[in-house]
Amino acid sequence: MTTLDVHAAPESAPVAADSILFQPIAASSSGFGSLWEVVRISFGSLLANKVRSLLTMLGVIIGVASVVSLLALGNGASASITGEIEAIGTNILTISAGSQNRGPGNATAAQNLTMDDAKAIEALQLPVIGVAPQLNSNAQIVAKSADKNAQIIGITPAFQVVNNLTMQQGSFITDEHLQGANTVIVLGSTLAKDLFGNGQALGQTVRINNQSLRVVGVLTPQGGSAFGSEDDRAYIPITTAQKRLFNARTPDGNGYRVGSITLSAINASDLDALQSRVSMLLRERHHLKLDGSADDFNVINQAEILGTLNTITSMMTLFLAAVAGISLLVGGIGIMNIMLVSVTERTREIGLRKAVGARSHHILMQFVVEAAVLSMTGGMIGLLLGSIIPIVVTQLGVLDAPIDLQTVGVAIGFSLGVGLFFGIYPAQRAAKLNPIDALRHE
């Protein structure tokens, strides 16, 4: 610290040298050897003002508690959404008619994805589990004692493989049904219940657009998804949809429209390559020039959707955490405020400590430690309180919102940082006090 030798040229020994008080003090006064004592002094003065210390900490407690709970809930929600998408499959490409550039008013001009396109894609022998064209429409399904408006999906047998559908009763649409454009239908479990109650749906007849269709299968419940329940839908051969129910002949009369074509890749990592290969084929078949004219179809890459959703949820989480961070900041300002008051109140104490030998760094340390202890303790309490909501939510099974180590680290790190940052200024004011003036302070 200093090269000053205060023991230079000591004068003759004291008179009553027998007293312990006249033995030289064997201690170094250098550096931060007394840091622990300074920390103890800080704790002491915080404990002496319990109510004030608690109120001062409140800002940090609320700030950290909200950061912790919002981060946990946000991460939990994000994981839950990601999980649902992954359950649908991250290896799916969906090609639909129309381009992103077309407004809704031009929708009719975009009905140019055909059965032949689907067959051409299949002919490429790509590494896919299946190529599943489909044609969706809403229609009233009429059973003997009930009727219901439902989404009717015209599909090929590949649809079952691509979407992992399992049967509760009967069988799915077969190739024979497809070739013969047979009037058969497979019902989602909820839809079957709505139309036939608890009775037997299999083998019954329903009517759609005045066509009778025989129920050949009922699906096992698939559960809800982010995009509505799969169990409310009905499935028919796509050929039946095109020819018998919804008249989906192309304008030129040579083929049949499809609504979309779904590809299920064997490896999710192939999705990008599959997307460009399929796009190229479709542009060729649709006679689109290579000069950059827009696609007249739309490819949705499931992995991209997942990525986008992840970005959105993590941005939401960050946004919420930032809002919570503002309250942490306000808490820090509260600490600075109280520390400034404390320095003013304890001016005489500071003057005394300096008069009897405390150097500036001792005083600085005392007040910085006080601020840091306040905010760290607040941070710990906030962490405990902030954990309650995520733990309760997890226990109730609403959402799996684990509190990870990262969150704990962020909470404690931030509260310590806030304490140090907002504690420095009051502490510097204390350390700079002149002992003569400080001792005179009333």
Applying CB under 8 A, the span of 72-80, 114-122, 213-221, 345-353 interacting with another protein comes to: 345-353
Per DSSP, helices labelled H in 89-225 are 115-123, 158-162, 175-180, 189-196
Which residues make beta-bridge pairs with 213? 206
Site for another protein contains 2 (CB under 8 A): yes
Nearest approach, Cβ of 421 to another protein (angstroms)?
A: 25
- Of 214 and 432, which CB lies nearer to another protein in the complex structure? 432
Nearest approach, Cβ of 51 to another protein (angstroms)?
A: 15
Nearest approach, Cβ of 13 to another protein (angstroms)?
A: 9
- Of 29 and 179, which CB lies nearer to another protein in the complex structure? 29
Q: Using CB under 8 A, which of 233, 244, 257, 354 touches another protein?
A: 354
Residues 20-49 that bind another protein (CB under 8 A): 20-30, 33-34, 37-38, 41, 44-45, 48
Site for another protein contains 51 (CB under 8 A): no
Site for another protein contains 5 (CB under 8 A): yes
Applying CB under 8 A, the span of 284-292, 303-311, 396-404, 434-442 interacting with another protein comes to: 434-442
- Of 8 and 396, which CB lies nearer to another protein in the complex structure? 8
Site for another protein contains 356 (CB under 8 A): yes
Distance CA(379)–CA(64), nearest Å, equals 6
Q: Are 347 and 340 in contact (CB under 8 A)?
A: no
Distance CA(94)–CA(299), nearest Å, equals 6
Distance CA(311)–CA(149), nearest Å, equals 36
Distance CA(327)–CA(317), nearest Å, equals 16
Read off the tokens for 287.
């006679």
Nearest approach, Cβ of 441 to another protein (angstroms)?
A: 11
What residues contact residue 226 under an 8 Å CB cut-off, 6+ apart?
A: 81, 84, 85
Angle between helices 50-88 and 302-345 (to 10 degrees): 180
Distance CA(339)–CA(422), nearest Å, equals 9
Residues 111-130 that bind another protein (CB under 8 A): none
Q: Are 203 and 214 in contact (CB under 8 A)?
A: yes
Site for another protein contains 307 (CB under 8 A): no
Distance CA(268)–CA(278), nearest Å, equals 15
Distance CA(356)–CA(111), nearest Å, equals 91
- Of 40 and 144, which CB lies nearer to another protein in the complex structure? 40
Q: Name the site residues for another protein (rule: CB under 8 A).
A: 1-2, 4-6, 8-12, 14-16, 19-30, 33-34, 37-38, 41, 44-45, 48, 348-349, 351-360, 362, 435-436, 439
